A = this chain, B = another copy of it.
Amino acid sequence: MIIDCHGHYTTAPGALARFREAQLARLADPGLPLPSEPEISDDEIRETIEPNQLRIARERGHDLTIFSPRASHMGHHVADQATAAEWARVCNDLVYRVTTLYPGQFAGAAQLPQVAGGPLDACVSELERTVSGLGFVGVNLNPDPSGGFWNSPPLIDEYWFPLYEKLAELAVPAMIHVSTSCNPAFHTLGAHYLNADTTAFMQLASGRLFDRFPTLRLVIPHGGGAVPYHWGRFHGIGYREQYPPIETSVLPNVSFDTCVYHQPGIDLLTSVIPADNILFASEMLGAVRGSNPDGDFPWDDTKRYLDAAKLTDADRDKIFERNARRVYPRLDARLRQQGR
């Protein structure tokens, strides 16, 4: 089967965005009433999923998507914990409904109520609620909740440890995924996302986080940012700075997804990064939509590139399915319950 480990509910019904607008309006004017939860019917969910993510997944032959709220709308830069907690809860509950309407096609990954510089207690609680209560199998962890100002400690800092402890306890991996850029220097999808991937990898490569959390699993999306392209540079820097080898200090715990939207990029990824460390993903519907006018297929049809890549059947099987089952043990359990 084919598991897409990186999909977002970017097509959520308009009521969700209106709820967010009301939240932000109330933050600006505390005299306003607390916004009521968005009223969204099952039919509205079906109407936004079936002709979009579900149609495309079926056309391409993806069997299941690990599905999370829209990453660019997580908005962790909004510095109010109660607002963040409510927003994450509402977004996650909506994703949960997608996973109950289409239990065979979607599994949930949570948005965390991060607040730049804030404590992680609410994140730990929401992680527990979504995993133990809603059956989620993953979570998105934002290494820069400020939204492009990068004032949080590196991922190897003990600031993050309470979350890692809960992730390890629950056997849930985290995808390292930023939200929108509030910094005019960084285009959200074309710079901030990729920079975050590169930055996170280098933070991990410069420490020994996984000595302390040997069962923690992290996924770096968007093909690992610049990392595979500069694989020699990262090895050379690590050697010069006497960091522990990437192969033994990072790769046992870190995977890259395949959200790379052209054949040479996928060919590089699959030739440089061990097959055990690659998870199939499309980011669909994500940064890039529609078809390349120079071709006749969508940019984000990453399965097409993987089908054309020089891979053994065993490695392709790892990338499409086996690695996801290993990295997301709760997904594996869910699939087994479904007889898959």
Contact = CB atoms under 8 A, between A and B. Distances in A.
Contacts of A230: 194, 222-223, 260-261, 265
Counting every copy of the chain, the complex holds: 2
Identify which of A187, A226, A265 gathers the most chain B CB atoms within 10 Å of its CB.
A226
B290 A239 contact: yes
Contacts of A228: 229
Interface residues of A, number: 58
A237 B202 contact: no
Interface stretch (A49-57, A61-69, A145-153, A306-314): A145-153
Interface stretch (A16-24, A26-34, A125-133, A178-186): A178-186
Contacts of A189: 233, 237
Contacts of A299: 232-233, 235-236
Contacts of A202: 186-187, 190-191
Contact of A268 (B199, B229, B236, B290): B229
A203 interface: yes
Interface in A208-253: 222-223, 225-226, 228-237, 239-240
A271 B264 contact: yes
A239 B293 contact: yes
A82 interface: no
A98 interface: no
Contact of A233 (B144, B233, B260): B260
Nearest to A200: B191
A103 interface: no
A206 interface: yes
A335 interface: no
A240 B150 contact: no
A232 B288 contact: yes
B185 A237 contact: no
Contacts of A143: 185
A198 B226 contact: yes
B232 A203 contact: no
A11 to B, nearest CB: 15
Contacts of A239: 290, 292-293
A203 B222 contact: no
B265 A229 contact: yes
Interface string A167-189: 00000000000000001111101
11 contacts: A148-B150, A190-B202, A190-B233, A194-B195, A195-B195, A195-B198, A231-B265, A232-B260, A232-B265, A232-B299, A236-B261
Interface of A: 143-144, 148-154, 183-187, 189-191, 194-195, 198-199, 202-203, 205-206, 222-223, 225-226, 228-237, 239-240, 260-262, 264-265, 267-268, 271-272, 287-290, 292-293, 299-300
Task: Give the 5 A-B CB pairs with smallest separation, nearest first.
Answer: A236-B288, A232-B262, A232-B261, A226-B226, A229-B229
Given A143-B185, A153-B185, A236-B261, 11 more contacts: A152-B185, A187-B206, A194-B225, A229-B268, A230-B260, A230-B261, A232-B292, A233-B288, A233-B299, A239-B292, A264-B271
